Amino acid sequence: MDRDKRAVLEKIVDLALEVLMSRDSDAGWQNSGILGRLQECGGVLPKGQASDVAVWRKGRMLGDWKPKPRQALALLDRLSPDHRQAVLIHRAYLKRTTVTVDPETREQTLTRWTLEKMAEELGISVSAFRSRVERGYELLSEILQNSAKCTA
């Protein structure tokens, strides 16, 4: 995939991330905290730090977003959950560092997000993660082209 096409697709992903990574108060979210997360997940908290299902669902329910972010979410919604998750995580975290603070000890942990770390969090190999990301962008490109044909 050429750089220009990839840049357009990354802008689409960025628009979706703008919605999905908005603060809790921006969305008027409910059920915050451990009890709320337990309720949302049917009583079983997901393993790992990535829980995109509830965030994805709630992000889509937001009503106060302009058309472009809504369209970006609609395009990404057409990807399989694995491809959508890989593209979003890759775009949001690659080569970034996050800080996690232990609520009891106030100890800070820095996490440098590499392909290896992202793959580890998802429980897959680095090559499988790369493959999901590349295939996710290919599918997103196909969806975008098909959408353009339908509106032309």
pLDDT at 27: 47
Q: How many domains does the chain have?
A: 1
pLDDT band at 128 (very low <50, low <70, confident <90, very high): very high
In which domain, by residue range, is 85 found? Answer: 3-20+66-151
Tens digits of per-residue pLDDT, 16-37?
998 888 754 454 444 445 445 5
Decide if 111 is inside a domain: yes
Decide if 40 is inside a domain: no
pTM score of the predicted model? 0.71
Decide if 61 is inside a domain: no
Decide if 44 is inside a domain: no
Per-residue tokens: 88: 């979003």
List the one residue out of 44, 46, 48, 72 whose CA is nearest residue 59: 72
Whether the pLDDT of residue 38 is over 50: the answer is no
Decide if 59 is inside a domain: no
pLDDT band at 92 (very low <50, low <70, confident <90, very high): very high
